Amino acid sequence: MTSGKKTPVVPRRALRDGVYEALLEKLLDGSMPPGASLGIDSLSRELGVSQTPVREALVQMEHTGLVTRVALKGYRVAHPLPPRQLAELFDARGMLEVAAAERAVAHTDDLLPELRAAHAQHVLCAHRVRKQRGDGGPPADYSDLREYFQADWEFHLTIIRAADNRFLVQMAESLSAHVHRMRQTADHGALDIDQAVAEHATILAAFESGDPEAPSKALRTHLAAVARRAAEDA
């Protein structure tokens, strides 16, 4: 007779998520470059876990496009987005985010405190990255870079959520993995931190101005600038 107890799923899920985060950091620091083979057995030994959470994390990554799986060859790190797909990504972001900004204007009073907080966090994370790169070289730990990218994306998500449309949020979340894929091969010595922080400040000021057309214009300008910088680095 069985005890009837269910197997707890939270610890296993937490372990999978921990492995996923560890693999993301390897993508950021360049230790898993595009095209690199990802052996489940070797990764499990390196991370000190069983093969199951590694396999689950890789399946999750495959769904996001960060890794690919080839029959009989296993998993590999996805190659950078080609120029056409990069342009399509920013085209999609422009349509989604500008539309969200136009709708968010109606909720400016509620949005502003959250957007100011998101911008402050972005500025803080940018400061941490600059501090670790004081000598011009890459930091020993890329957790600061991951936090910076998360803060950057959270600024955008704050505006999208303010549009008060759950489907816009879902579409943005589906794009987030592709945005990360674009960043995973960033030149870690030439990040556009100063430009991004300044452009976010302009977007925040646009919402503060009370001009209903200013936020969408500022956001459109920012995305165009990011697309241009990404194309130059491709």
**Top-confidence range, 13-17, 32-36, 116-120:** 116-120
Single pTM value for the model: 0.78
pLDDT of residue 186: 54
For residue 65, tell me if it sits in a domain. Answer: yes
| Same structural domain, 111 and 68 | no
- Residue 1 lies inside a defined structural domain of this protein: no
Residues 51 and 88 placed together within one structural domain of the fold: no
Per-residue model confidence as pLDDT tens digits over 88-114: 999 999 999 999 999 999 999 999 999
Q: Say which residue, 81 or 155, is predicted with more confidence.
A: 155
CATH code for the domain of 208: 1.20.120.530
With respect to residue 147, please indicate whether it lies within any of the assigned structural domains.
yes
Q: Are 147 and 210 within one domain?
A: yes
Say yes or no: 26 and 44 in one domain: yes
Query: What's the pLDDT tens digit per position in 177-214?
Result: 778 777 755 544 457 899 999 999 999 999 999 999 99
- 192 is in which domain, residue-wise? 83-233
Mean pLDDT of the 47-67 span: 89
Phi-psi region of 8 (alpha: psi -120 to 50; beta: other; left: phi over 0): beta
